[in-house]
Copies of this chain bind each other. A is one copy, B any other.
Amino acid sequence: MSEAFQYPQQGIRLTVDAVVFGYHSDRLQVLLIRRKYAPFEGQWALPGGFVAEPESLEQAVERELSEETGLKINYLEQLFSFGEPRRDPRFRVVSIAYMAIIRSDNMPLQASTDATDAQWFDTQELPPLAFDHAQILEKAITRLRSKLRYQPIGFDLLPEKFLFSDLERLYSTILDQPLDRRNFRKKILSFGILEELSTKVSDGRGRPASLYRFDLDRYQALQHENFYFEIP
């Protein structure tokens, strides 16, 4: 890993960036902050910042997110490290990007953060981003899509109790493809990781629908057997 006597004094700085996904009004959203200082002053960027000496990388991400928004993270995963020499115009910065998911329960509403530094954006209507953050985000979306197919992270984007139609819309929105309602239902229910609640709710139009809850315990139990979550 190194030679003994010469430790190069690198000018490389290390940051973490977070791609935080949320889901609101049938849209996949991402949390961006407005930069206060140069470079890219006033532009939108992914939340993140320098890693402090004693903290782990995950702690750095959680700290930055909590400092900026007080968000409670549901799911955190290392995405990729970005290290092109000129990605920051000031000096060399290598950034380790993480992907996070926030339940919409805990999300500040888009309207309520209006004109502040942190805002949710539809992934379909993004502003120009600082640095190589567009590239990071693109990679994150690709990863999210593929994870959605073989890990039950869809539930992490919904409130604790949700309608089956919410789940279906979430899948077809994020995967950007239509789904057959009957086949989707059959598949998801066949895993046996949803609990149907007795409550039925109606949004005023149409037939009232059952609420469902993701059964985490059951899912974890199944993982020890020969069980694979997968949406074809």
Residues of A within 8 A of B (CB): 1-5, 7-8, 10-15, 17, 35-38, 45-46, 48-57, 78, 80-81, 83-85, 88, 90-96, 130-131
A175 to B152, alpha carbons, bound, how many Å?
Answer: 25
* Contact between A93 and B55, CB atoms less than 8 A apart: no
Q: How far is the CA of A11 from the CA of B96 in the complex (A)?
A: 17
Contact A95 B10, CB 8 Å, known A56-B84, A85-B54? no
Count this chain's copies in the assembly: 2
In the complex, A50→B55 CA distance in Å?
A: 21
Which residues of chain B are within 8 angstroms of A37 by Cβ–Cβ distance?
Answer: 2-5
Least distance between A131 CB and chain B CB atoms (Å): 6
A1 to chain B, nearest CB (A): 6
Complex: chain B residue closest to A85, CB-CB = B54
- In the complex, what's the smallest C-beta–C-beta distance from A13 to chain B, in angstroms? 6
A10–B1 Cα gap in the complex (Å)?
19
Contacts of A93 in B (CB 8 A): 1
Q: How far is the CA of A14 from the CA of B51 in the complex (A)?
A: 12
CB-based contact A96/B83 at 8 Å? yes
Shortest 4 CB-CB contacts between residues of A and residues of B:
A4-B37, A57-B83, A81-B81, A12-B14
Contact status A10-B8, CB under 8 Å: no
